[in-house]
Amino acid sequence: VILSSALRGIPEETLEAAVIDGANPFQIFWKIMVPQIWGTIAVVWTTITILVLKVFDIVLTMTNGQWNSQVLANLMFDWMFRGGGDFGRGATIAIIIMIAVIPIMIWNIRQANKETGGH
């Protein structure tokens, strides 16, 4: 819904000018539309990433932590606190999650700095 409204916000004149200049649909999409909605794409991507990382409590509550419904955070919790205290495996999963999150976090910080003019 958010991306749809962002696409509707692109001025028709811009798209018409691209067609008149001879741009094909692929070029219109990648060189006209995507740059104009890039901020919206970043917000949606960040929101989805946050929601995926916060799914721990929902899965735990709805499934009571059964093994057939694991996400990484639940698996880490089970190995560390329910499965006899296997802190090594739990810590390994925590590091994997951290390695997955750090590039996203760095990208988001850089995008925010570009938009605000910060360093």
Structure tokens at 41: 């794409």
The answer to whether residue 36 is domain-embedded is: no
The answer to whether residue 113 is domain-embedded is: yes
pLDDT beneath 70: ranges in the chain: 65-69, 118-119
The answer to whether residue 9 is domain-embedded is: no
Its domain, for residue 97, covers: 53-119
**Total domain count, the chain:** 1
The answer to whether residue 16 is domain-embedded is: no
The answer to whether residue 10 is domain-embedded is: no
pLDDT single digits (tens) 24-49: 999 999 999 998 988 888 888 888 87
The answer to whether residue 17 is domain-embedded is: no
Phi, psi of 54 (to 5 degrees): -95, 10
Entry pTM: 0.57
What is the model's pLDDT at position 10? 92
Rounded CA separation 117/101 (Å): 24
What is the model's pLDDT at position 85? 78
The answer to whether residue 7 is domain-embedded is: no
What is the model's pLDDT at position 49? 77
